[in-house]
Amino acid sequence: MDVYWLEQAESDVPVEDHWLSASEAARLDALRIAKRRADWRLGRWAAKRAVAAYLDVPRHLQGLANIEIRPAPSGGPEVFILDTPAPATISLSHRDGTALCAIAPSGAALGCDLELVEPRSDAFVVDYFTAAEQALVAGMSLEDRPRLLALLWSAKESALKAMGAGLRLDTRSVEVSAVDGLQGCRDSRKGLAEDASLSFQQNGGNSWRPLQVRYIGGQVFSGWWQPTGSLLRTLVAVPPPLPPIPLTV
């Protein structure tokens, strides 16, 4: 299955709000915290731009106003064009002034997440990761640990979004394994850590690397991960997605 992605920065978002639908403008007016308003506008802008490029519909501001991003009963985003459901599934994430939108055909289970690579406490690892994931983290070098933790956490968030549950489910109910790099044929904890470290060293460009996330109920989500500077992004889907394709806007 083909999946597409687009990232936008706060500097890409117009100052005016003419690209919002009437109901979106009303929802924005109800947000009183400045950061919450900025994040919400950034996410909607990235989503509308991605949808317009994916469906090849008008991309001027009035055309974007005809695209409406509504919350589904699960809390995830749904796309409507002129009050009609659009033939697309999207997932949204934003972090540190950047928004990521992933988009796929209708009916797909899709989740994406954008995370900042930063130090995290030992308590964070114990509280949110499975025993196997904790063992992998323990065997990782201190230099590579922040990126590994960002990868594991981001992949969990992507899978939980694809399930329509988000963080309402225990993050330990999903377990991450990277097909390329983090999941090796060696059995020892040290061997797995060496595989992960090598994967990070070799993945300095824009290439996507595969991963999998397994839910304790048996469902398996296939996906991809990619680091760029201090940010790391993940994307998972059912059916299994091909490497994500960047959208041009």
User: Is it true that domain 112-246 has CATH number 3.10.129.10?
Assistant: no
**CA distances for 159 relative to 24, 80, 113, 219, angstroms:** 27, 24, 9, 10
pLDDT the model gives residue 75 = 82
Distance (Å, rounded) from C-alpha 149 to C-alpha 28?
33
- Tell me the per-residue pLDDT of 86-111, one tens digit each, with 9 for 90 and over: 999 999 999 999 999 999 999 999 99
> Would you kindly state where each structural domain of the chain is located, as residue ranges?
4-108, 112-246
149 neighbors 125 (Cβ within 8 angstroms):
yes
- Tell me the per-residue pLDDT of 8-32, one tens digit each, with 9 for 90 and over: 999 999 999 999 999 999 999 999 9
Matching fold, domains 4-108 and 112-246: yes
Percent above pLDDT 90 for the chain: 79
pLDDT the model gives residue 168 = 78
210 neighbors 223 (Cβ within 8 angstroms):
yes
150 neighbors 116 (Cβ within 8 angstroms):
yes
Percent above pLDDT 70 for the chain: 88
Are β-strands 245-246 and 4-9 bridged in parallel, bridged antiparallel, or unpaired? parallel
- What is the widest separation between alpha-carbon atoms in the chain? 58
Per DSSP, the three-state class of 12 is: helix
Domain boundaries 4-108, corresponding CATH code: 3.90.470.20
pLDDT, the chain, mean: 89
Per DSSP, the three-state class of 212 is: strand
Distance (Å, rounded) from C-alpha 23 to C-alpha 212?
37
pTM metric for this prediction: 0.88
Binning pLDDT at 50, 70 and 90, where does residue 198 land? Answer: very low
Distance (Å, rounded) from C-alpha 38 to C-alpha 128?
28
- Tell me the per-residue pLDDT of 116-133, one tens digit each, with 9 for 90 and over: 999 999 999 999 999 999
**CA distances for 171 relative to 68, 116, 122, angstroms:** 30, 18, 16
